[in-house]
Amino acid sequence: MKTISIEEVHDRIEKGEELNLVDVREPHENQEFNIGGILHPLGKIHHFEINELDGLQDKEVIVYCRSGNRSGQAAMMLGTMGFSNVKNLTGGMLAWREKYG
């Protein structure tokens, strides 16, 4: 599984780069703190409800969650579903908030 650091994603966001961010947390977690990703809870990926991700199969997709565990699962599942460039955000939102607030 490919990973990407919070520092790299933060720098790319700061530079104004458009990223395909996918938040696999639950809605209440997303409401509490969000870096702008598409909310797509892990359970929806389990059930192959990925309509919101159509068109991203050949693009870089960065998945994130609270700590990196659920997003790791999501990255593996998306890979088996034909997504060719999925990256897991190492440390998730816990690491992000610790470093960037």
Strands (E), the chain: 2-4, 21-23, 38-39, 60-64, 85-89
DSSP count for the chain of H helices, then E strands: 5, 5
Residues catalogued as catalytic: 65
Give residue 66's identity as a one-letter amino acid code: R
